[in-house]
Amino acid sequence: MQMSNRISAFQCSPIRRLVPYAREAAEKGIHVIHLNIGQPDIKTPKEALEAIHNYGEDIIEYGRSEGEVELRRGLVKYYKKYGITVDEDDIMITTGGSEAIQFIFMTLCDPYDEFIIPEPYYTNVATFANIAMVTLRPVTSSPDDNFALPSIEEFEKRINKKTMGILLCSPNNPTGHVYTRGELKALLELCKKHDIFLVVDEVYREFCYDGKTFTSILSFPEYSDRIICIDSFSKRFSMCGARVGAIVTHNREVLDSALKLAQARLCPPAVEQVAATAALTAPDEYVENVRAEYEHRRNVLISSMQKIPGVRCSLPKGAFYFVADLPVDDAEKFDIFMLRDFSYQGCTVMFAPADGFYVTPGLGHTEARFAYVLNEKELLMAAKCLEEGLKVYRRDVMGIKE
Amino acid sequence: MQMSNRISAFQCSPIRRLVPYAREAAEKGIHVIHLNIGQPDIKTPKEALEAIHNYGEDIIEYGRSEGEVELRRGLVKYYKKYGITVDEDDIMITTGGSEAIQFIFMTLCDPYDEFIIPEPYYTNVATFANIAMVTLRPVTSSPDDNFALPSIEEFEKRINKKTMGILLCSPNNPTGHVYTRGELKALLELCKKHDIFLVVDEVYREFCYDGKTFTSILSFPEYSDRIICIDSFSKRFSMCGARVGAIVTHNREVLDSALKLAQARLCPPAVEQVAATAALTAPDEYVENVRAEYEHRRNVLISSMQKIPGVRCSLPKGAFYFVADLPVDDAEKFDIFMLRDFSYQGCTVMFAPADGFYVTPGLGHTEARFAYVLNEKELLMAAKCLEEGLKVYRRDVMGIKE
């Protein structure tokens, strides 16, 4: 019995596929510093944890397919703080931002329809596109200009009759780029011209650094019919395991259609929605402190890595990732080496090889995504491990005499 | 801007699509008795609720994509009580049984591949099949023999090169049929002969009545490579909103392939998995009491409905649903009438029109699925409402003089 051809062709998550090597290292007693995944060590707001401890129902019942009213009302207030006007019926709660992206592909696209996406991009989108049989058309952004938006002409070149929309992530995972108001406006004009959607994943909305202001796609009401925002509680409130996300759009036809998918899977998780509703009542300082902490961590890891000979990376403006070019033949081979064959003072480091973050074959083989969600001490040790690991790998595996 | 053709073609859930009428009735102050959905009024085990109250983490972290080890180990012990031997690596935790079915379709089938399914069937499977572009080939079971398994010849007739498996639900939603060891063995022989999978949704495993013994598909080790069991905590532990389910199979290639999908969506909900792990420690009496209560409720509703002139329904052997044939022109029209135009002593009843539970067009138009998950008093009132509603509907809407 064979598995389907499509599942065989799906890629394993480049963020998670090396996990067996990390487990083996851990079993040998090596402390693996996980820069491969955006799992923060910052505490979930106490409001959310208390809501779990005080969960008052005695039956964990099915909820509404579109998500609980209290949670959607809480989000309306939350967006209002950013000057964004939506009402509760503009919001559908999803099981994580992941489900939101899947619902949008299924709702907007028939098989072989296309979405344009700047690469490197959030790699799990590839699987969601594969599930929906949507073709991703990449526009390559470059480390040379800090992964800014490629020219509008490059996007327009890729638009054809099968193009249903453009998918952005801002602040960007994996590059850290924060799209400017001008960039978004230009894309919206392009979308209007060709009558397609602009879908923006804003799950890192609060994490913008160096005083940079974030522009939400929801702040362009004149294009509201073609705008879809993907959101999630995972990063903002350090509750990644809760799996609570959202689709936000003024286009009711999109939500009405997506509701068919939502009804089939019945409802998002009930207890976690209670936690998410409470997280929204955390004081503004919670998110502000988290933002400041990530800015600090970014500075720590970037400045340490920039000192490593041959490593190229520049200061990201948002989210909590960056893509670095490494002085190796193959970033994945080097990653496996770090986990299987190397340790420094009992530690090693795991990162996400970046080739899986590109649609275009052949790109990103010497690049890797690093998440700076751990504390300063861990980040400094991770940079040291990388520096020492690179020396050994280049000498012993690549045979370079320096 | 158009939605996709496929989403436009997807059906709205027949279990949930009449909800707006029910809301309107409720807003008018009418008490709507929900027999349309399997939302029990039985309490979640206190062990599960206590685990939520005592949730000890201060970060709700990403978990393992395949589900938490403690939960999978708990399930190993749980199956052992039924004489079933699996180990933790034979189990993948999913976000509800819904996600499990989706993962299986994607993993086993390419677009236009086929699955055979007895109808009436659990209707949300239609949407999961549509998402995966899998064609469902129905074999119609009949109320005349209490929806028993149609002949093996009927299944075999529908097998072709594109057939990847057969999907059963036992005890069956919506018919209440419990497949016998002989029926399962015959299907497994057929699957072996044609080298296809047998997938069995056993989420109602404990709910078998009249002393009937349940046979799990996992108790046929000689066919283990082609056997996949779908499971869920929703009904067994009255925790439908938790969204914790599982795929259980000895076929590691299936789980390894499905893991690609699991990794892309990151992990199942974290807090709910803690609750599910604790639910497994509830004493056996919990499930036994629930079973006995449902058996009683079944008897109450069936005997009341059998007394209503023109209603045809027979005693289901398991789960907590049955399909009844109603003396109306169209069960959905009658359902809307009950919600919009009728009440009896301030009450009305909602049920699920059964045409959506058939793949074959034209079947089930006068049938409806009833869930008997509410308490005796509600069920008696529901039957009374139906009886009175039928009188009025037949007289005023259908114009029948009796």
Q: Which two tokens stand for residue B282?
A: 């509830």
Residue in B with minimal Cα distance to A44: B59
A10 near B CB under 8 A: yes
Residue A52 lies in a domain: no
Are residues B193 and B147 part of one domain?
yes
Domain membership of residue A29 (yes or no) is: yes
Domain final residue, candidates B279, B306, B331: B279
Pick from A218, A278, A266, A215: which is nearest to A90 by CA? A218
Judge whether A37 is closer than 8 Å to chain B, CB to CB. Answer: yes
Smallest Cα distance from B147 to chain A, Å: 24
Look up residue A70 and give its two tokens. 């209290």
* Together in a domain, B269 and B247: yes
What is the spatial distance between Cα B118 and Cα B148, in angstroms, rounded to a whole number? 10
| Residue A121 pLDDT | 97
Q: How far apart are CA A243 and CA A239, in angstroms?
A: 8
Q: Please check whether residue B265 touches A, CB under 8 A.
A: yes
* Distance (Å) from the alpha carbon of B385 to chain A's nearest alpha carbon: 25
Whole-number mean pLDDT of chain A? 96
pLDDT, tens digit (0-9, with 9 covering 90-100), for A354-389: 999 999 999 999 999 999 999 999 999 999 999 999
B375 contacts in chain A (CB < 8 Å): none
C-beta pairs of B47-50 under 8 Å, 24+ apart in sequence: B47/B278, B47/B279, B47/B281, B47/B282, B48/A60, B48/B237, B48/B239, B48/B275, B48/B276, B48/B278, B48/B279, B48/B282, B49/A55, B49/A58, B49/B275, B50/B278
The verdict on B66 and B23 lying in the same domain is no
Asked if A42 lies within 8 A of B65 by C-beta distance, the reply is: no
Which chain A residues in 355-374 lie under 8 Å from chain B, judged by CB atoms?
Answer: none
Rounded to whole angstroms, the maximal C-alpha distance in chain B is: 68
User: Is the pLDDT at A2 greater than 90, yes or no?
Assistant: no
The answer to whether residue B207 sits within a structural domain is yes
Q: How confident is the model at residue A105 (pLDDT cuts 50, 70, 90)?
A: very high
Q: Does A229 touch chain B (CB under 8 A)?
A: no
pLDDT at site B144: 87
Q: Give the CATH number, domain containing residue B374.
A: 3.90.1150.10
Q: Does a structural domain hold residue A50? A: no
Inter-chain CB proximity B65 and A40 less than 8 Å? no
The residue out of B228, B245, B279 marking a domain boundary is: B279
Q: Is A98 on the interface with B (CB under 8 A)?
A: yes
Backbone CA torsion sign across A299, A303, A306, A308: negative
Closest approach of chain B CAs to the CA of A308, in angstroms? Answer: 31
User: Token pair 């994945």 is at which residue?
Assistant: A332
User: What would the pLDDT profile of A197-206 be if each residue is shown by its tens digit?
Assistant: 999 999 999 9
Q: What is the pLDDT, as a whole number, of residue B71?
A: 98
Return the closest-CA partner of residue B317 out of B145, B156, B186, B159. B145
Looking at the predicted structure, is the pLDDT value of residue A145 above 90?
no
Pair B34, B54 in one domain = no
H-helix or E-strand spanning residue B245 = strand B245-248
- Give the model's pLDDT for residue B75: 98
> How far is the C-alpha of B81 from the C-alpha of B246, rounded, in Å?
17
Is there a single domain that holds both residue B291 and residue B336? Answer: yes
CATH number of the domain enclosing B234 = 3.40.640.10
Residues A114 and A184 in one domain: yes
Task: Note whether B239 and B310 are same-domain residues.
Answer: no
Residue A303 has pLDDT above 90, yes or no: yes
The whole-angstrom distance between B307's CA and the closest CA on chain A is: 32
Q: Is the pLDDT of residue A37 over 90?
A: no
CB contact under 8 A, B261 and A10: yes
Any chain A CB within 8 A of the CB of B379? no
Mutation target vs B (from A2, A4, A17, A267; most B CBs, 10 A cutoff): A4
Same domain, A123 and A30: no
> What average pLDDT does range A166-180 have in this prediction?
96
Are residue B274 and residue B296 in the same domain, yes or no? no
- Are B59 and A41 in contact (CB < 8 Å)? yes
A20 located within any domain: yes
Of B17, B195, B258, the CB nearest to A1: B195
Let me know whether A336 and A366 are in one domain: yes
Nearest to B53 among A15, A55, A99 (CB): A55
| Residue B253 in domain | yes
Output the average pLDDT for chain B.
96
Between chains, do A243 and B266 touch, taking CB under 8 Å as contact? yes
The residue to which tokens 């790699």 are assigned = A123
- The per-residue pLDDT for A115 is 98
**Which residues 110-169 of B are in CB contact (within 8 Å) with A?**
110-111, 113, 124, 127-128, 131-133, 164
The residue in chain B having the minimum alpha-carbon distance to the alpha carbon of residue A261 is: B127
In Å, how far from its chain's centre is CA A143?
18
Q: Which of B61, B98, B109 sits opposite A265 (nearest CB)?
A: B98
A243·B267 Cβ contact <8 A: yes
**Parts of chain B with a pLDDT under 50:** none
Is B346 exposed, middle or buried (CB count within 10 Å of its CB: 0-12, 13-18, 19+)?
exposed
Tens of pLDDT, residue by residue over A40-88, are 889 999 999 999 999 999 999 999 999 999 999 999 999 999 999 999 9
Residue B393's SS3 state is: helix
Residue A321 in this model has a pLDDT that exceeds 80: yes
Q: In what order do the strands lie in the sheet with A135-140?
A: A91-94, A245-248, A227-232, A197-201, A163-169, A114-119, A135-140
Contacts of B302 (CB under 8 A, 6+ apart): B313, B314, B315, B316, B322, B372
A85 and A102 share a domain?
Answer: yes
Between residues A102 and B11, the one the model is more confident about: A102
Q: Which domain holds residue B353?
A: 5-43+285-397
| Cβ contact, residue pair A269, B243, below 8 Å | yes
B124 lies in the same domain as B200: yes
Interface contact flag, B48 A37, Cβ < 8 Å: no
Is B254 in Cβ contact with A62 (below 8 Å)?
A: no
Angle at B308 between CA B303 and CA B311, to 5 degrees: 95
Would B332 be classed as within a structural domain? yes
Does pLDDT of A15 surpass 80? no
The answer as to whether B402 is a domain residue is no
Cβ-nearest to A60 among B58, B113, B240: B240
Residue B150 is classified by DSSP as P
Asked if residue A171 has a cis previous peptide bond (ω within 30° of 0), the answer is yes
Q: Which of B279, B310, B343 is the last residue of a domain?
A: B279
| CB atoms A16 and B124 under 8 Å | no
E strand or H helix at B306? helix B284-306
**Chain A residues whose beta carbon lies within 8 Å of the beta carbon of residue B36:** none
Q: Taking CB atoms and an 8 Å limit, are B3 and A99 in contact across chains?
A: no
- Beta-carbon contacts of B284 under 8 Å, excluding residues fewer than 6 positions away, are B81
Q: Which of A62, A128, A240 is the closest to B240 by Cβ? A: A62
Determine whether the interchain pair B263/A113 forms a contact, defined as Cβ–Cβ distance below 8 Å: no
| pLDDT score for A11 | 84
Question: For the residues A334-362, what does the mean pLDDT come to?
Answer: 96
A39: pLDDT strictly greater than 90: no
Number of separate domains in chain B: 2
